[in-house]
Structure formats: C-alpha cells, structure tokens
C-alpha cells in the first residue's frame, strides 16, 4: 500500500471521526510495563481539548466510513454520497505506533461505520487493540467504540485491551431514534453497555481476591448524545443521561451539538447554527448532577423544560429559588454551600475548613479566592456590609447580566436585548 493511499485514507477517516466527541481519556491507570510503548497513568495525561471542548491528543479515526445503516444525522450513512475508505487492521496498528513514536499522539480513539455486520466490525476493532497490546507492547491509551449489537464475547475481549469503551446512544429519546434511525433499536445500545458494566464489576471483585486478574476497561465506559437533531427538550436529555449514569455506571456522557449535514426535512436545515451554547449548558448541568448533589428535576421540570442560555444552570436554579437564600456561610452545610452561585466545590471545602477556626467575613472569603461577584448576592457572612436582599429573581438576573461578559456574547446578544 502506497504512502499516498494511506494518507488519503487517513484524511477521509480522520475527518469522518471528528463528529464523535466522546474521547476524553481521564481515569485510566494503565502504566508502562515491560518497557513497552506509552503510558496512560494518571489523570489527564492523554487528553487535551480544543477551544470548543473537543479532544485532540489521540489519533482519532474510523476504521471505515462504509456503513450498512442509514442514520439521518450521520455523515457516514449509506445514502450519503461521500468518498469512502477502510483501513486494514495492521494499517491502524502501524499508524498508531508511528504517530506515537513521533510524539504526535498519546493514544488511539477508534470508531467505525458498521460494515457487513456488528460482529464483523467489532472483531476488527478488537483486533487492532489486541495487536497493539500484545504484539507492539503498546501501553498508551486506547478508546474503542463498541458497535451496537456486537456479541457479548467480543465486548468482553474489547474490555481486556481497551482503556475505555463507549456505545453512542446518539439520539436522546426513543421517538427521536425511531424517526431518524428507524433501523436501530435502543436494546442494541443497552446490551453491550450492560455487558461492560457487569464485566467491570466482576473483574474488580476478582482482582480483590486474585491480584493478577487483568483490569477490564479501566477507564470505564461513556456515551455520546447528539443535541438538537430531533427536537428533544433539555429535560428529556438530562433524564436520559441520569438513567444511563445510574443504570450503567457511566464515567461520562458527552453532548455533541448537531452539525447540519444534510437536506433532510426531519433535521435542522444546513446553515442552522450548531447549538454550542446549549451544549455547554448541558455539560454544566451534567457537572451539577455529578458533583454538586443536584437532581434533574430541580433544574429541569415541566415548568422549566429547557436550560436558560443567558445564565448558567446553577445561577438559573438560584434565581428561581430565592427563598433558599441568602445562605449563611458560617452555618450552612456543604449541600447548601455548594448551591451558592459562583462557589465551586474547592471554595466550599476551603470555607468548611476555615470556619472551624473563625467566623468568616467578606475579606476572608476574598482571601480564599471565592469569586464574590455573583456569590455576594446569595450569601451572608460575618460582616457589616450587606448586599441588597430585597431583589426578586428577575431583578437580580438583570443586575448580574449587566456585569457579565460571556465568550458566547455574540450568540447571546439578541436574547440579552430582550432584557434591556
Ligand atoms: S450506524 Fe453509526 S456510522 Fe452507521 S450511519 Fe448510523 S450512526 Fe452512522
């Protein structure tokens, strides 16, 4: 195979892979063994993100962009008139090793269109990971996309060689999936996810008894949802996330704003803006659910089915629940401190520690690095200077917005004018 042909395949298959954002490598603890290649030890060693949050440090490619399916939202769908290509297993192995040696990448993110069948495709993805680990002694990060409908045996093998596995749900609701990918079935996503979850649990418990038990998908599993392709509300999206986090112990759910790629009446038309800000608000909500103790129904419910775009979800929640504020930073528990807009968990822990020794005032909070520009409206402390407490949620929102600059200002300005 000529160098030009490999280069051409790489161009086609790397470009096709850019729509998948579920490739962060955090959480893996694979260390370098037998003086092999690479090391995915520790948090963050293998990933970096572009400005819009997409991961760039892995070799991120499809094995092939041939596909027997015709999912309307996907550039790889069989009815799309695009250039097609397919790598041989050995070609992906060679590329990974060559790129790794040149320091271009720290790992591999390998996905694929489904050619012939789910198992036929999955077998080849597994073969890449197996060769890298066993023949090349590669200890860098490997994220394999699991093919919906692949057999349990292949999923089990995949987990023995990959750090992370993911099956993309793609469309957040069953109705949306039926509309845009009628050949697909939610069960096909759920079965491999369940298999991976059960294997992780089993391997972990065996390892407690037999130390030499290999690790199974040490960085866990993740999934991705496309946002804005099927008219779903943020409430539906976050309930779906919540379900998958809880039911399958997912490490991460990724939200990918739909990029209009086809003239299909079922989809937003070409030229429609990619919902980047909405994507960002969903990530923030996801974070609040995982680390701040928020439940979905607190942020999104039947009265409030979509996230505010002009304020972050924690501030939005606080402005709708002014009766909970102000919070006394010298008395409140961790749960309520974490709900003060502008206060991150680091600040919460600093406050909890520091107040064991003294009552805290504005100066103490400032010295601790607490961002008071927002927080000051929602807390009281040991100080004689008070912010106004007689403001309604909408009034306070308007004051905060006047003093805020956002990197999404251009997207927001038409909406902010409504509050002018
Ligand atoms: S099965 Fe996957 S690759 Fe194929 S068209 Fe559907 S989303 Fe795209």
CA atoms within 13 A on the CB side of 223: 29
DSSP annotation string for 357-401: TS---HHHHHHTT--HHHHTTTEE-S-S--------HHHHHHHHH
The residue nearest atom 1 of ligand 1, judged by CA position, is 69
Q: Residue 399: what are its φ and ψ, rounded to 5°?
A: -65, -45
Digit-by-digit pLDDT tens for the chain (420 residues) are 688 899 899 999 988 888 776 555 444 555 555 555 554 443 222 354 433 444 548 899 999 999 999 999 999 999 999 999 999 999 999 999 999 998 888 889 999 999 999 999 999 999 999 999 999 999 988 999 999 989 999 999 999 999 999 999 999 999 999 999 999 988 888 999 999 999 999 999 999 999 899 999 998 999 999 999 999 999 999 999 999 999 999 999 999 999 998 899 999 999 999 999 999 999 999 999 999 999 999 999 999 999 999 999 999 999 999 999 999 999 999 999 999 999 999 999 999 999 999 999 999 999 998 888 889 999 999 987 666 678 899 999 999 998 877 655 555 554 433 332
pTM of the model: 0.87
CA of 168 to the centre of ligand 1 (A): 10
Residue of 74, 111, 188 to test ligand 1 pocket, by largest number of atoms within 8 Å of CB: 74
Q: Which residue has the tokens 């308007």?
A: 398
* Residue 413 parent element (H or E): helix 409-416
CA of 193 to the centre of ligand 1 (A): 17
Atom in ligand 1 nearest the alpha carbon of residue 181: 6
Find all residues with CB under 8 Å of 343, minimum gap 6, and list them.
Answer: 337, 351, 370, 371, 375, 379
Find all residues with CB under 8 Å of 233, minimum gap 6, and list them.
Answer: 300, 305, 306
CA of 90 to the centre of ligand 1 (A): 23
The residue nearest atom 5 of ligand 1, judged by CA position, is 77
Beta 379-380 vs 58-62: how paired, if at all? unpaired
- 104, 162, 226, 391 from 166: Cα distances, Å: 23, 10, 14, 46
Q: Which two tokens stand for residue 125?
A: 């993805």
């Amino acid at each position: 195979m000529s160098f030009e042909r490999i280069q051409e395949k790489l161009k086609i298959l790397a470009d096709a892979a850019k729509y998948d954002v579920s490739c962060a490598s955090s959480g893996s603890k694979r260390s370098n063994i037998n003086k092999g290649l690479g090391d995915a030890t520790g948090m963050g060693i293998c990933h970096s993100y572009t400005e819009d949050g997409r991961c760039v440090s892995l070799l991120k490619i499809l094995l092939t962009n041939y596909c027997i399916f015709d999912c309307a939202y996907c550039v790889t769908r069989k009815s799309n008139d695009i250039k097609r290509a397919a790598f041989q297993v050995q070609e992906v192995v060679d590329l990974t090793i060559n790129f790794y040696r040149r320091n271009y990448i720290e790992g591999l993110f390998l996905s694929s269109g489904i050619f012939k069948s789910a198992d036929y495709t999955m077998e080849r993805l597994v073969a890449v990971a197996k060769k890298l680990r066993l023949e090349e002694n590669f200890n860098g990060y490997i994220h394999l996309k699991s093919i919906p409908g692949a057999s349990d045996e292949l999923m089990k093998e995949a987990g023995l060689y990959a750090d992370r596995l993911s099956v993309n749900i793609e469309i957040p609701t069953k109705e949306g999936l039926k509309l845009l990918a009628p050949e697909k079935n939610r069960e096909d996503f759920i079965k491999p996810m369940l298999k991976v979850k059960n294997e992780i649990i089993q391997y972990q418990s065996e390892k407690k008894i037999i130390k030499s038990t290999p690790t199974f998908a040490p960085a866990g599993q993740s999934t991705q949802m496309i946002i804005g392709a099927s008219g779903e509300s943020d409430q539906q999206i976050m309930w779906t996330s919540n379900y998958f986090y809880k039911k399958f112990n997912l490490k991460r759910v990724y939200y990918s704003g739909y990029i209009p790629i086809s003239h299909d009446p079922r989809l937003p038309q070409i030229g429609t803006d990619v919902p980047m800000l909405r994507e960002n608000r969903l990530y923030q909500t996801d974070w609040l659910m995982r680390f701040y103790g928020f439940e979905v129904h607190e942020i999104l419910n039947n009265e409030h089915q979509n996230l505010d775009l002009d304020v972050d979800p924690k501030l939005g929640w606080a402005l709708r629940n002014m009766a909970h504020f102000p919070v006394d930073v010298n008395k409140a528990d961790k749960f309520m401190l974490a709900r003060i807009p502008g206060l991150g968990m680091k600040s919460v822990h600093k406050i909890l520690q520091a107040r064991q020794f003294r009552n805290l005032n504005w100066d103490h909070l400032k010295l601790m690095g607490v961002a008071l520009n927002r927080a000051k409206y929602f807390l009281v402390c040991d100080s004689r200077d008070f912010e106004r407490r007689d403001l309604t949620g909408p009034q306070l929102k308007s004051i905060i917005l006047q003093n805020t600059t956002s990197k999404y200002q251009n997207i927001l300005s038409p909406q902010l004018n409504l509050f002018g």
